[in-house]
Amino acid sequence: MTSLAAGATLDFSLPQQLLVIALCALTAFVAHMALAVFNDGTRPFMLDFIQGRSTRTAATAVSFGLSAGFIFGLGAPMALSTGVLNPWLLFLPTDILGLLSPKKWLAPILGAAWGAVVVFALGGANNLAHDLPVDFLTAMQEMSTPILFLFTLFPVLAITKQFGRKWGGVAGVLELALVVLTMKVWPDMFAGALAMAAGVLMLIGLAVSQDLRQRKADLAAALTKKSDGTAEADGAGGTGGASGTGGAGEAEAAEDPMASLFSASAARLRRYLPLFMLLGAGVCVLAQMHIFGGGEATSFLIAKGHISEAAQVDFYRVFGFIPLIATTALASGAYGIAGFTLVYPIGYLMPNPVLAAVVGAAVFALEVLALSWIGKILGRLPSVRDSSEHLRNAISDSLQLAILFGSLMAANAMGGGLGILIVGGLYLLNEAMGRPVVRMAAAPAAVIVGGVLLNILYWLDLFTPIKG
Predicted confidence at residue 53, as pLDDT, reads 87
Close Cβ partners of 44 (under 8 Å, ≥ 6 residues apart): 328, 331, 332
The structural domains of the chain, with segments of one domain joined by +, span 14-151+259-459
Position 283 scores a pLDDT of 97
Q: Single out the residue of 337, 406, 423, 436 nearest to residue 142, CA to CA.
A: 406
Which of 110, 106, 180, 113 is CA-nearest to residue 149?
180
Of 79, 289, 312, 342, give the one whose Cα is nearest residue 190. Answer: 312
The burial class, CB within 10 Å (0-12 / 13-18 / 19+), for 259 is middle
Cα distance between residue 78 and residue 410, in whole Å: 13
pLDDT at position 235 is 57
* Cβ proximity of 323 and 340 under 8 Å: no
Mapping DSSP onto H, E and C, the string for the chain reads: CCCCCCCCCCCCCHHHHHHHHHHHHHHHHHHHCCCEECCCCCHHHHHHHHCCCCCHHHHHHHHHHHHHHHHHHHHHHHHHHHCCECHHHHHHHHHHHHHHCCCCCHHHHHHHHHHHHHHHHHHHHHHHHHCCCCCHHHHHHHHHHHHHHHHCCHHHHHHHHHHCHHHHHHHHHHHHHHHHHHHHHCCCCCCCHHHHHHHHHHHHHHHHHHHHHHHHHHHHHHHHHHHHHHHHHHHHCCCCHHHHHHHHHHHHHHCCHHHHHHHHHHHHHHHCHHHHHHHHHHHHHHHHCCCECCCHHHHHHHHHCCHHHHHHHHHHHHHHHHHHHHHHHHHHCCEECCCCCCHHHHHHHCCCHHHHHHHHHHHHHHHHHCHHHHHHHHHHCHHHHHHHHHHHHHHHHHHHHHHHHHHHHHHHHHHHHHHHHHHHHHHHHHHHCCCCCCHHHHHHHHHHHHHHHHHHHHHCCCCCCCCC
From first to last of the 468 residues of the chain, give the pLDDT tens digit.
445 544 466 789 999 999 999 999 999 999 999 999 999 888 888 988 888 888 999 999 989 988 988 998 889 999 988 989 999 999 999 999 999 999 999 999 999 999 999 999 888 888 888 888 998 888 988 998 899 899 999 999 999 999 999 999 999 999 999 999 999 998 888 888 889 989 988 998 999 898 888 888 878 888 887 777 665 555 555 544 444 444 444 444 444 555 665 788 888 999 999 999 999 999 999 999 999 999 889 999 999 899 999 999 999 888 888 888 888 888 888 999 999 999 999 999 999 999 999 999 999 999 999 998 888 887 788 888 888 889 889 998 999 999 999 999 999 999 999 999 999 999 999 999 999 888 889 999 999 999 999 999 999 999 988 765
**What pLDDT, on a 0 to 100 scale, did the predictor assign at position 310?**
93
